[in-house]
């Protein structure tokens, strides 16, 4: 979504060398991965991205769509027990599924208010400045959705089931063991868009 120079301006606390130029910049909220063809890639890597997205289930659907059979979806997300989301509620699957069915394409203010209440409560003391802080959270794409490792794995399983995707987890590491994140490798085992052979 951002070029390396744009990201460096938005996140001045990070060293510029941490941002790299990329070949494709897409808006995962508005277009998901629609610019890529079905069955195009051997792997998709999504490292600490999905928690920022307005419609995670849609992006999961598209990630598996663009994978070839036997392709790998490598995905990680912060475990709330090991970061600043620790005081926030886990995002329920029903909430995510509703966003998918409603074809949500932007994170609404309530998500960012939840973030501010739990992570930066002092920003809400002055009601005049609340909109400024919401906009700042939106510009920095703060966490819209929150999971612990168990909830994230369950969300992946339920999403894959409801989307009728043939895939299974072949490797998993959770926050309890790595003190950081959910990390999973999911393998697409059949192309549901193609007729059975």
Residue with tokens 């886990």: 90
Q: Are 43 and 72 in contact (CB under 8 A)?
A: yes
pLDDT at position 113: 97
pLDDT at 1: 60
Interaxial angle between packed helices 56-66 and 93-101, expressed in degrees from 0 to 180 and rounded to the nearest 10: 70
Based on the number of CB atoms within 10 Å of its own CB, is 149 exposed (0-12), middle (13-18) or buried (19 or more)? buried
The first and second tokens of residue 158, run together, are 């339920």
- Tokens standing for 51? 């928690």
Task: Specify the pLDDT at position 17.
Answer: 80
List strands edge to edge, sheet with 67-78: 41-47, 67-78, 181-188, 167-173
Number of Cβ within a 10 Å radius of residue 42: 9
Per-10-residue mean pLDDT of the chain, 197 residues long, equals 78 82 87 95 97 98 98 98 98 98 98 97 89 95 98 98 98 98 96 53
In angstroms, rounded to a whole number, what is the distance separating the alpha carbons of residues 112 and 137?
A: 6
Identify any residues that bridge with 126 across adjacent strands, giving them in sequence order.
none
What's residue 3's pLDDT? 80
C-alpha of 174 from chain center: 16
The per-residue DSSP string of 141-178 comes to T--SS-B-HHHHHHHHHHHHHHTT--EEEEEEE-HHHH
Q: Are 81 and 150 in contact (CB under 8 A)?
A: no
Domains and their CATH numbers in the chain = 4-105+148-188 (3.40.50), 108-143 (no CATH)
């Amino acid at each position: 979504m951002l070029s390396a120079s744009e990201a460096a301006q938005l996140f001045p606390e990070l060293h510029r060398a941490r941002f790299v130029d990329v070949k494709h910049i897409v808006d995962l909220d508005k277009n998901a991965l629609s610019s890529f063809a079905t069955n195009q890639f051997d792997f998709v890597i999504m490292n600490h991205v999905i928690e920022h997205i307005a419609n995670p289930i849609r992006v999961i659907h598209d990630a598996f769509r663009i994978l070839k059979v036997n392709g790998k979806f490598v995905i990680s997300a912060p475990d709330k027990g090991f970061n600043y989301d620790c005081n926030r509620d886990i995002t329920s699957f029903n909430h995510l599924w509703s966003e998918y069915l409603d074809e949500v394409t932007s994170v609404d203010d309530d998500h960012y208010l939840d973030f501010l209440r739990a992570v930066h409560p002092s920003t809400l003391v002055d009601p005049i400045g609340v909109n400024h802080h919401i906009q700042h959270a939106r510009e920095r794409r703060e966490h819209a959705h929150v999971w612990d490792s168990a909830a994230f794995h369950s969300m992946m399983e339920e999403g894959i089931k409801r989307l009728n995707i043939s895939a299974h987890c072949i490797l998993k590491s959770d926050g309890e063991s790595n003190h950081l994140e959910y990390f999973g490798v999911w393998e697409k085992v059949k192309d549901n868009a193609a007729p059975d052979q």
